[in-house]
Amino acid sequence: MHVVITGASKGFGKEIAIKFAAAGATLYLCSRTEAALKETSSLIQKEFPRCKVHYKPADLSKKSGVRELGQWITAITPAVDILVNNAGQFLPGSVYNEPDGTLEQMIDVNLYSAYHLTRILLPGMMKKKQGHIFNICSIASFQAYDNGGAYSISKFALAGFSKNLREEMKPHNIKVTAVYPGAAYTDSWAASGVDPQRLMEAADIAAMIYASSQLSTRACVEDIILRPQAGDL
């Protein structure tokens, strides 16, 4: 099982990588920060020696970075089984006061990275008539909130991409799942002052993605919505 995970050095991406590594998958991990990615990859390889870990740092906010990553993956394997588009960034603000260029940055990272990498890897999946694509959207994809601004707009767009892709890939036997996590405890929440017990664990999201990937070829989980038990913050 060949699994590509972007934004894999920490948070959701790291937990998803751990989940698939435990199953003996061959991993292709990417994040922007080389040192953190190398550390995560080494820890996973050490803990799960049955799996094989490939990693490559890349800035997926740039189309050239996505292209380099895609070419690197396809040079190793002609087709991947699972693609997890997890790379993302959050910049707070509102439409009326966020700095000029914020929307472009959010779209580049949160939408275009997934769009361009998927397009590079789809031919191999389509030829094999097999594959599963997970797009990590957000509760912000369908519920606007204060200070969400361009981030929420970009996540709405990612949800739209997921729905469109799902319809296009049905004839090719390729599954598409949109994942909508609410607040989960990751580095971005560490300094918030919110009690970690109020939040989900990143491993919860990983568990749902892995479970969805293990269904028969006749079933597709189209949407995964996860919220803290006490509700959104």
What's the pLDDT tens digit per position in 176-186? 999 999 888 77
The domains of the chain are located at 2-226
Residues linked to residue 176 through DSSP beta bridges, in sequence order: 133
Q: Is the pLDDT of residue 82 over 90?
A: yes
In angstroms, the CA 17 to CA 27 distance is 7
Q: Is the pLDDT of residue 120 over 70?
A: yes
The residue from 28, 112, 151, 210 that is catalytic is: 151
pLDDT in tens, 28-64: 999 999 999 999 999 999 999 999 999 999 999 999 9
End-to-end CA distance of the chain: 36
- Catalytic, 115? Answer no
Task: Give the model's confidence band at 150: pLDDT under 50 very low, under 70 low, under 90 confident, else very high.
Answer: very high
| Dihedral (Cα; 59, 61, 66, 69), 10-degree rounding | 20
Higher model confidence: residue 147 or residue 205? 205
Q: Which residues lie closer than 8 Å to 138 by C-beta, 6 or more apart?
A: 152, 155, 180, 181
Structure tokens at 115: 């769009």
Is 2-226 a CATH 3.40.1350.10 domain? no
Half-sphere exposure of 47 (CA within 13 A, CB side): 13
In angstroms, the CA 174 to CA 206 distance is 20
Neighbour tally for 71: CB within 10 Å: 10
pLDDT in tens, 209-219: 999 999 999 99
